[in-house]
Amino acid sequence: MSSQKKILVIGSNGQIGTVLTKKLGQKFGFENVIGSDLRMPDAPTKFIFEECSVLNKEKLEDIIYRHKISDVYLLAAYLSAKGEKNIDKAWDLNMTGLLNVLNFAKQKKIQKIFWPSSIAVFGPSTPKNNVQQYAITEPTTIYGVSKLAGESLCHYYHNKFGIDVRSIRYPGLIGWDSMPGGGTTDYAVDIFHEALKNQEYTCFLSKDRTLPMMYMDDAIKATILIMEAQANKIQIRTSYNLSACHFSPNELAEEIKKYIPSFQITYKPDDRDQLAKGWPASINDKHARNDWGWKPNFNLSQMVSDIVLNLRNRYKK
């Protein structure tokens, strides 16, 4: 196997993949980054793109072999809201996709894996605030159930076969460069586009539904940081708690009003509010900070300022 790092991002067209592939390309060279997804990207990419389902083992193996892949970032998944409407498919994609990639590592076809878990592994029986790494995990969504099982699978493959698989429990992610794909925290992206386009937004979560959230820049920073850390620094092989900030839709709207004073928000909670109700309001991430030096750069006001700055021109009339 060559010593050159060659990276495959599976689910590269999604909310995180769109941004992560750019950052990885800038850091390691676009010639060393291969993106893959079910569908072709909307715009030409600087990295090589391969159309493939993570469920198609033969085709995936061929991509890994042809490009001499060393590191895989597995992002293809059904998220919480979409998962509740497609339980069997969510289980299949979230579990079989992970198992396929773990088995490539077991067969020594790849060296290192990043696979994200989520705050959705927690549930109503978890304490609400400052949730610790080893708090109760009794999820009430198929998404959370699959993430919890995935964490155990990663832990098992690491212990039994020495697989170098690394994971973080992302909070809700917010960015300006890509759109989300069916989660409960999607409101926090939609709100910026509607505020800048129409100066109004109808929110599908309750006004005071506080959740742990993170700016995409911080999520990408954490992802690359954990993957580049020395293996002996990764003490947790299920998945690390990760935190940056937490806020409610009302607090986010108030922050946006500082830039768009005419902005109006109304609330029409739907099923997704019930999913969010079972999740923590804030997370304790001391293990990520101690083990591999994690520290976020963005709080709520810094994040809002940066998103408005980046999106403003797009909607200028």
Residue 80 binding partner per list ligand NAD, ligand SER, none, with a CB distance cut-off of 5 to 8 Å that depends on partner kind: ligand SER
240 is catalytic: no
Strand order across the 48-51 sheet: 48-51, 33-37, 7-10, 71-74, 112-114, 164-166
Nearest C-alpha neighbor of 203 from the set 255, 250, 260, 171: 250
Q: Nearest Cα to 137, choosing from 66, 238, 223?
A: 238
The Cα 48–Cα 88 span in angstroms is 31
Whose Cβ is closer to ligand NAD: residue 39's or residue 160's? 39
15 binds, among ligand NAD, ligand SER, none (CB under 5 to 8 A by kind): ligand NAD
- Round to whole Å and give the CA distance between 79 and 15: 11
Binding mask 131-160 for ligand SER (x = CB under 6 A): ------------x-----------------
Residue 164: which H helix or E strand, with range? strand 164-166
Report the run of H or E that residue 48 belongs to, with start and end: strand 48-51
From the list 14, 35, 139, 144, which residue makes contact with ligand NAD (rule: CB under 6 A)?
14
- To ligand SER, the closest distance from the beta carbon of 187 in angstroms equals 9
State yes or no: residue 181 binds ligand NAD (CB under 6 A): yes
Task: Return d(Cα 275, Cα 122) in angstroms, integer.
Answer: 11
Write each residue from 183 to 212 as x if it is in contact with ligand SER (CB under 6 A), else as -, in one continuous string: xxx---------------------------
Judged by the rule CB under 6 A, the positions of this chain that interact with ligand NAD are 10-11, 13-17, 37-39, 53-55, 75-77, 79, 93, 116, 118, 170, 172-173, 180-183, 185
Judged by the rule CB under 6 A, the positions of this chain that interact with ligand SER are 79-80, 118-120, 143, 172, 183-185
